[in-house]
């Protein structure tokens, strides 16, 4: 592919206004021969709905030579995703879901490629130039900063679950409180959590950055979009990075509500099993992946 196919791009704004070039149908594809589409275009042939932010690639199209990798890493489609990662990083930090250099984000951008955040950097103050391109074994392919050591945990899920296009890991205080307390997260209690989180997966503790935690979270994350990492934090995945981030907000808000309700002292009013089944139908209508049709149930019947 000649270099002329990949002119230098000006940075894309995070805006979702109609002036955003990522939303202009004329820029839907980088070029007619490109295998990589620009995310952010309206989906489903112009039907009403939210913007489709999922990144798609043609299988077998990963760049191979150093020149192809460099062009890909600086292509307009990838620059859009870098901006989104930085924006979500700011939101994580502003909501106090990360502290110090904690937390990390990934977006899968090929059969064996992902964008990721760098190590030893606050997620609240990243710029696109700080991000890295790695393969799914964690080998760094592009970027001036060193990639986070926790990407292998994200890839533990991505390798097992192709619907996982983006992962967000953070230490939001309310959810992490449940990860360190010897208390189960009760459910079903509110529709939002049932529809958008479903059953929250629980991954046993292993040292961060090891193959053991990648396997543990990978197995749990294969069938759960929100994973509570015991003695650590949360890792959520989605079809795009904002989708994954929303689940971090959902789980922390839910745990906060449960914590406050616990303090009221009257116990919980649970949604019934029959009502929970109706929420399962809502999940399908919202397009939430049906990872385990039996997942919406009354957990009170489960042993602690
Ligand atoms: Zn962590």
Is residue 159 over pLDDT 50?
yes
Residue 167 has pLDDT above 90, yes or no: yes
pLDDT at 147: 96
Quick one: average pLDDT of 229-236?
98
Q: Any idea which residue has 């009221």 for tokens?
A: 264
Distance from C-alpha of 201 to C-alpha of 225, rounded to nearest angstrom: 8
100 has pLDDT over 70: yes
CA of 117 to the centre of ligand 1 (A): 13
Measured between alpha carbons, how far is 162 from 164 in angstroms, rounded to an integer?
5
**Residue 263: which residues within 8 A CB-CB, separation 6 or more?**
none
Domain boundaries, the chain: 1-148, 161-304
Cis (ω within 30 of 0) for the bond into 188?
yes
Confidence of residue 35 (pLDDT cuts 50, 70, 90): low
DSSP 273: H
Distance in Å, CA 229 to ligand 1 centroid:
9
- Per the CB < 8 A criterion, the answer to whether 239 and 166 are in contact is yes
Output the CA torsion 287→288→290→296 (10° steps): -130
Q: What is the pLDDT of residue 286?
A: 84
- Structural tokens at position 294: 């039996």
Confidence at residue 158, expressed as pLDDT on a 0 to 100 scale: 97
- Options 3.40.50.10540, 3.30.70.2740, 3.40.225.10, 3.40.50.300; CATH of 161-304: 3.40.225.10
For ligand 1, the distance from its centroid to the CA atom of residue 91, given in whole angstroms, is 17
Distance 218 CA to ligand 1 centre (A): 15
Residue 130: is its pLDDT beyond 60?
A: yes
């Amino acid at each position: 592919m000649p270099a002329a196919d990949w002119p230098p791009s000006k940075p894309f704004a995070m805006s979702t206004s109609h002036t955003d070039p990522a939303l202009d149908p004329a820029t839907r594809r980088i070029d007619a021969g490109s295998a990589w589409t620009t995310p952010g275009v309206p989906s489903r042939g112009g039907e009403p709905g939210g913007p489709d932010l999922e990144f798609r690639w043609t299988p077998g199209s990963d760049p191979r030579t150093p020149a192809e990798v460099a062009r890909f890493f600086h292509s307009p489609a990838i620059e859009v995703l870098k901006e989104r990662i930085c924006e979500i990083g700011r939101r994580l930090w502003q909501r106090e879901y990360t502290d110090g250099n904690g937390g990390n984000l990934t977006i899968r951008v090929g059969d064996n490629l992902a964008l990721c955040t760098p190590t030893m950097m606050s997620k609240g103050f990243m710029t696109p130039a700080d991000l890295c391109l790695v393969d799914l074994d964690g080998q760094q392919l592009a970027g001036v900063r060193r990639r986070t050591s926790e990407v292998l945990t994200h890839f533990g899920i991505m390798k097992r679950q192709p619907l996982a296009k983006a992962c967000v890991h953070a230490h939001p205080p309310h959810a992490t409180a449940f990860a360190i307390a010897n208390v189960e997260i009760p459910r079903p209690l509110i529709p939002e959590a049932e529809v958008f989180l479903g059953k929250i997966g629980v991954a046993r503790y292993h040292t961060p950055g090891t193959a053991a935690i990648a396997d543990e979270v990978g197995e749990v994350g294969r069938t759960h979009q929100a994973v509570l990492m015991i003695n650590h934090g949360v890792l959520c995945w989605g079809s795009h990075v904002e989708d994954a981030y929303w689940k971090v907000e959902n789980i922390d808000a839910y745990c906060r509500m449960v914590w406050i309700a616990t303090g009221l002292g009257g116990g919980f009013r649970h949604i019934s099993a029959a009502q929970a089944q109706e929420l399962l139908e809502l999940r399908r209508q919202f397009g939430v992946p049906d990872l385990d049709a039996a997942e919406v149930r009354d957990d009170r019947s489960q042993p602690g």
